[in-house]
Structure 1
Amino acid sequence: MDVTIVGAILLVIVIVIAAQTIKIVPQQHAWVLERLGRYHATLTPGMTIVLPFIDRIAYKHILKEIPLEVPSQVCITRDNTQLQVDGVLYFQVTDPMKASYGSSNFVFAITQLSQTTLRSVIGKLELDKTFEERDFINHSIVSSLDEAAANWGVKVLRYEIKDLTPPKEILHAMQAQITAEREKRALIAASEGRKQEQINIASGGREASIQKSEGERQAAINQAQGQAAAILAVAEANAQAIQKIAAAIQSTGGMEAVNLKVAEQYVSAFGNLAKQGNTLIVPGNLADMGTMIASALTIVNRGKAV
Structure 2
Amino acid sequence: MSPLLITLALLAFLVLTVVGAGVQLVQQYQRGVVLRFGRLLPTVREPGLRIIVPFVDRMTKVPVQTVVMDVPSQGAITRDNVTLAVDAVVYFRVSDPAKAVVNVDNYLGAVSQVAQTSLRSVIGRVDLDTMLSDREQVNDELRAVIDTPTEAWGVSVDRVEIKDIALPEGMRRSMSRQAEAERDRRARVIAAEGEAQASARLADAAREMGETPGALQLRLLQTVADVASDKNSTLVMPFPIEMLRFFDNASGTTAEDADADRASTPPEVNGSGPAPAITTGPEADRR
TM-score, normalisation: structure 1: 0.65
1:18 maps onto 2:19 in alignment = yes
1:209 aligns to what?
210
How far is the alpha carbon of 1:214 from its aligned partner? 11
- Larger deviation, residues 153-162 vs 63-72: 63-72
| Alpha-carbon distance change, 211 to 24 in structure 1, aligned in 2, over 3 angstroms | same
| Alpha-carbon distance change, 172 to 9 in structure 1, aligned in 2, over 3 angstroms | farther
Number of residue pairs matched by the alignment = 214
How far is the alpha carbon of 1:7 from its aligned partner? 4.1
1:163 maps onto 2:167 in alignment = no
Q: Deviations over 1:165-204 (max 9, x none)?
A: 1111111211121122112212222222222211211121
CA–CA separation in structure 1 for the residues paired with 2:137 and 2:147: 15
CA–CA separation in structure 2 for the residues paired with 1:212 and 1:92: 83
How far is the alpha carbon of 1:68 from its aligned partner? 1.1
- Larger deviation, residues 90-99 vs 34-43: 34-43
Can you give the 5+ residue segments of structure 1 that lack an aligned partner in the other structure? 216-306
| Alpha-carbon distance change, 194 to 153 in structure 1, aligned in 2, over 3 angstroms | same
2:57 aligns to what?
55
Structure whose alpha-carbon radius of gyration is higher: 1
**Moved >6 Å (runs of 4+):** none
CA–CA separation in structure 1 for the residues paired with 2:159 and 2:153: 17
Amino acid at match of 1:161: I
Looking at secondary structure, tell me which structure has more helix per residue: 1
1:277 aligns to what?
none
1:180 aligns to what?
181
1:27 maps onto 2:45 in alignment = no
CA–CA separation in structure 2 for the residues paired with 1:10 and 1:89: 52
SS in structure 2 opposite 1:138? helix
Q: Is the 8 A contact 1:86 1:163 kept in 2?
A: yes
How far is the alpha carbon of 1:2 from its aligned partner? 5.0
1:46 aligns to what?
48
RMSD of the alignment, in Å? 2.0
How far is the alpha carbon of 1:108 from its aligned partner? 2.0
Q: Is the 8 A contact 1:94 1:155 kept in 2?
A: yes
2:83 aligns to what?
82
How far is the alpha carbon of 1:213 from its aligned partner? 9.4
Q: Is the 8 A contact 1:118 1:137 kept in 2?
A: no
How far is the alpha carbon of 1:207 from its aligned partner? 2.1
CA–CA separation in structure 2 for the residues paired with 1:166 and 1:214: 63
| Alpha-carbon distance change, 14 to 178 in structure 1, aligned in 2, over 3 angstroms | same
SS in structure 1 opposite 2:212? helix
SS in structure 2 opposite 1:144? helix
Identity of aligned residues (%): 37
1:121 maps onto 2:122 in alignment = yes
1:99 aligns to what?
100
Q: Deviations over 1:107-127 (max 9, x none)?
A: 222222222222222112221
Amino acid at match of 2:40: Y
Q: Is the 8 A contact 2:74 2:119 kept in 1?
A: no
Q: Deviations over 1:272-301 (max 9, x none)?
A: xxxxxxxxxxxxxxxxxxxxxxxxxxxxxx
Can you give the 5+ residue segments of structure 2 that lack an aligned partner in the other structure? 217-287
CA–CA separation in structure 2 for the residues paired with 1:10 and 1:161: 60
